[in-house]
Amino acid sequence: MTRPLRSDDLATAVAVPRADGADSAIAFEAVAKIFPARGGGPAVRALDGIDLAVAPGTILGVIGRSGAGKSTLIRLVNGLETPTAGRVVVDGTDVTALTERGLRDVRRRVGMIFQHFNLLSSRTAFDNVALPLEVARVPKAEIRRRVEPLLELVGLSDKRDRYPAELSGGQKQRVGIARALATRPTVLLSDEATSALDPETTRSILDLLSSINRELGLTVLLITHEMSVIRAVAKEVAVLDAGRVVERGDVFDVFTRPRHATTRSFLAAETGHALPPFLRERLRPEAAPGRPTALRILFRGPHATDPVVSQLSREFGLDVNILSGSVDEIAGRPFGTLVVSLAADGPTVERALAFLQARGLDTEVIGHVA
């Protein structure tokens, strides 16, 4: 299944089923955002030709480096930012055509959570969650009826009268999530919501987001710079690089077959994509007599547990030396990588590769062990 990358691969990866406001919860249509030059600095093209749709009830993760335009992208959804060109359609409403007043209605249907929580220090947990309802002029009794279950949902009933200064980071983000859900939105925006949290707390917040997505059927647009976050919650992922979507697809596919250099570099820290240092130092690009060939084999889905190493050595009478490897689960599907070296001549290696490919495994010669 290894084949040379064709240019249209990228096109199919990027060209999403043409964004159509009617059946997407969020749709970006040919969106560009240019921040005008100011104070001697040049204009910044923060987003360029963005076509991206999020199906209702799904979680789309957007990943990109610092400055890639992630925050700008997410802020377009609730009109905190207006695009220079293109349309942004939320639940069938073109938010780019709305006045400030119209936007306020849309904003009540779109919850948002933030990296630094943005809770009011002067309000208790309860009153922070109540704020969007006060803003929407919901009667006091009704506010009480709605806030209590939300605090329960995020597991903070016992902290209802605590001020943010008395809460941990994870608890603050839970309050933030409850607040974002207060107006019963259909869309939840999350801008680096776990970036200020430790791994364990991150995990619990992501679990909460997943269960909210499942149980309330909320559409979630989640921004992050960590692949591990995408992998934990998202079903689909879009990779943003310098204001463009360079890769888009099912999380499992993108993780196991990254096409774009940016995606690969994000994945470097993830399962099997980084080689251990001792191995990297010994790899040479050129073949030479007596240098075993190093091979990366990717096991995807149903093939993840195939006993190919023993088959390989039996079939070709080869010594197969395992250099590094891992088996993992991505988006609920098993995925393994194995780096092996084959002490064999060129033609034998070719035949071994053909053998592996015939079994539906992706292989890649990564060098020669010196």
Partner 1 sequence: MSPEILRLVWEATLDTLWMVAVAASLATLIGLPLGVFLATSGRGELFAAPAVNKVLGFVVNATRSTPFIILVVAIIPFTRLLVGTSIGTKAAIVPLTIAAAPFIARLIEGAIREVDGGLVEAARAMGATPLQIVAKVLVPEALPAIVLSLTLAIVSLLGFSAMVGAVGGGGLGDLGIRYGYQRFMPDVMAIVVVVLVVLVQLVQSTGDRLSRRLNKRLRHG
- Which of 26, 31, 68, 119 touches ligand ATP by CB under 6 A? 68
Stretch that binds Mg ion, among 2-10, 69-77, 97-105, 244-252 (CB under 5 A): 69-77
Binding map of ligand ATP across residues 214-233, x = CB under 6 A, - = no contact: -----------x--------
For residues 48 and 137, give the distance between their C-alpha atoms in angstroms, rounded to a whole number: 38
End-to-end CA distance of the chain: 28
Q: On the CB side of 139, how many CA atoms lie within 13 Å of its CA?
A: 2
For residues 215 and 34, give the distance between their C-alpha atoms in angstroms, rounded to a whole number: 38
Residues 6+ apart with CB under 8 A from 270: 227, 228, 231, 255
Give the residue with the Cβ less far from Mg ion, 71 or 262: 71
The first and second tokens of residue 281, run together, are 């130092």
Indicate whether 71 belongs to the interface with Mg ion (CB under 5 A): yes
Contact 95, 27 (CB under 8 A): no
Instruction: Tell the smallest beta-carbon distance from residue 342 to ligand ATP (Å).
Output: 42
Contact 124, 145 (CB under 8 A): no
Contact 295, 284 (CB under 8 A): no
- Which of 82, 118, 305, 310 touches partner 1 by CB under 8 A? 118
- Look at residue 44 and give the partner it binds from partner 1, ligand ATP, Mg ion, none, a contact being a CB closer than 5 to 8 Å depending on partner kind: ligand ATP
Indicate whether 196 belongs to the interface with partner 1 (CB under 8 A): no
- Which of 45, 65, 116, 225 touches partner 1 by CB under 8 A? 116
Instruction: Tell the smallest beta-carbon distance from residue 109 to ligand ATP (Å).
Output: 23
Q: How far is CA 197 from CA 19, 26, 52, 69, 257, in A?
A: 34, 27, 28, 22, 29
- Shortest CA distance to 54 belongs to which of 110, 116, 11? 110
Instruction: Tell the smallest beta-carbon distance from residue 90 to Mg ion (Å).
Output: 20
Instruction: Tell the smallest beta-carbon distance from residue 110 to partner 1 (Å).
Output: 8
Question: Binders of ligand ATP among 32-61, rule CB under 6 A?
Answer: 35, 44, 46
Indicate whether 72 belongs to the interface with Mg ion (CB under 5 A): no
- Shortest CA distance to 150 belongs to which of 120, 123, 119, 128? 128
What are the phi and psi torsion angles at 145 (to 5°)?
-60, -30
- Look at residue 66 and give the partner it binds from partner 1, Mg ion, ligand ATP, none, a contact being a CB closer than 5 to 8 Å depending on partner kind: ligand ATP
Question: Binders of Mg ion among 142-201, rule CB under 5 A?
Answer: none
By CB under 6 A, name the binding residues for ligand ATP: 35, 44, 46, 64, 66-72, 225
Q: Which residues bind partner 1 (CB under 8 A)?
A: 78, 80, 103-108, 110, 112, 114, 116, 118-123, 131-132, 134-136, 163-166, 179, 183, 189
